[in-house]
Amino acid sequence: MDKLKFLINQVDQRKDEMIELVKTLISYQTPAPPARNTAEAQAFIASFLKRHGFEIDMWDVYPGDPNVVGTLKGSQSTEYKSLILNGHIDVAEVNPEEKWEGNPFTPIVRDDCIIGRGAADMKGGLAGALFAIKLLHEANIELPGDLFFQSVIGEEVGEAGTLQCCNRGYKADFAVVVDTSDLHIQGQGGVITGWITLKSDQTYHDATRRSMIHAGGKLVAASAIEKMMKIIDGLQELERHWAITKSYPGIPAGANTINPAVIEGGRHAAFVADECRLWITVHFYPDETHEQVAKEVEEHIKNVAQGDIWLRDHPPIFTWGGSSMIEERGEIFPSLEVDPFNPAVTLLAAAHKQVSGKEVVQDVSPTVTDGGWFGDAGVPAVIYGPGNLMNAHSVNEQVSIEQLVEFTKVLVSFIYQWSHQEK
C-alpha cells in the first residue's frame, strides 16, 4: 500500500502534466458530426499507450475514424482480474454561431477549470485514465491482471466503436467507461431509434382528394401523412401507459418516452401523399432491452392499425436501430444495470471514499453512453468519470481540475487494487 500512497501523491505533484495532457487531447479537432476526423488524435493515444508498455490494435471503423485498443498483459493473467478502461475520442459538434470565449479547440485554463470542446465529454476522463496508466508505468509497477485501454470513435453519433471492440473479442472481468458522470457510479437506461413508414400502393392526383373523403366518392384511399396522425396518437397512448405501469429506482417516473422526432412525407403539392415516414426515439429503463421495447411498440401500433380501415390494408413498416446516425440515420444504446454488490463496484466505491472522504453516489445516468455495450456483451461495467452533464455539449464546455485530480487518484487506486484481485 506504500506504493499506492506514492502513486496517489504523484497525481498532486504532477497535476500540471495532467492538465497539459487534457489540453493536448482537446486541441485535436474531433467533432461528430462531421466525424471522420479522429485519426491524428487516435495516433497520439496509440503512441502514448505504446510508450507505456501496451500492445496496440488499431483499425478503421470508418475511413479517418479508427478505434485504438491497448493491451497490457498482466504478469499472472490467468489468476488475477482483468479490466477495461473505455472512452470515446469524438466530441459534440460545434456550431459556428456559438459564442465561445475563443477557439473551442484552443483550451483555456482558468479558475480551477479547463475550458474547451470535449473537456467534460469526455477528453478529461480519457486524459485522467491515460495519466493513471503513465504513473503506474513510470513507477515500474507490474500488474498481475490484464489491463485494456479502449479509445473508441463515434459515440456522439451512435457509431458503436465500443460494440466493435466487443465483437473483436475484447472482454474482461470488469469495465469502467470514464464518461461524464460527475464522479457518480452509474448505470443507464437505453435508447433505440426507429422509422415507421406508411405507404400506399397507388399514387393519386390531388384533384382526386374529394373522391376519397366525401360521400359517394367511392375511392378507398388516404393520405399517408394524415394516417400517420393515428400512429402518433397510438404512440402517445403507449407512452402514457408505460409511464403508469413501468418504473425503475433512481429514474424519474415517465422517463421512458417515445419521441416523434422527425416526420417526412409526400412527394409534391399536386399529389395526395402516398408515403410518410416517422423517426422516433425510444428511451427505456436499465432492466429492459432494446429488442423488448421495439417489440412492444410494434405490437401496439399494429393493433392501432387493425382498428383503421385503410391502415388495416396498408400496415406500418418498422425499421429499428442502426450503427450510425450519419450513415444510416439510426442508433442503438443498450441499457446498463449495475450490481452494487459486484466486487469491482464495491472496490471502486471504496477507492472513491478513500480519496474523497465521501461515500460515492450510485445512481442512474439520465443520458446514454457506450456502457450498455458491455452489459450487452456480458461484461459487468459502470460509468464513472469527471465532468457533469450541464457542461457536456455546452458552449464554453469545461471540467473542474480538482475533480479531474480526484478522478485520477481514484482510478490509480482502483486499477492497482482490482488487478491484484484473484479470479
Which residues carry out catalysis? 90, 155
φ, ψ of residue 400 to 5 degrees: the values are -75, 130
**What's the 3-state SS for the chain?**
CHHHHHHHHHHHHCHHHHHHHHHHHHHCCCECCCCCCCHHHHHHHHHHHHHCCCEEEEEEEECCEEEEEEEECCCCCCCECCEEEEEECCECCCCCCCCCCCCCCCCEEECCEEECCCHHHHHHHHHHHHHHHHHHHHCCCCCCCCEEEEEECCHHHCCCHHHHHHHCCCCCCCEEECCCCCCCEEEECEEEEEEEEEECCCCEEHHHHHHHHCCCCCCCCCCHHHHHHHHHHHHHHHHHHHHHHCCCCCCCCCCCCEEEEEEEECCCCCEECCEEEEEEEEEECCCCCHHHHHHHHHHHHHHHHHCCHHHHHCCCEEEECCCECCCCCECEECCECCCCCCHHHHHHHHHHHHHHCCCCCEEEECCCCCHHHHHHCCCCEEECCCCCCCCCCCCCCEEEHHHHHHHHHHHHHHHHHHHCCEC
In the Cβ-directed half-sphere of 288, how many Cα atoms lie within 13 Å? 21
Place of cell 423517426: 279
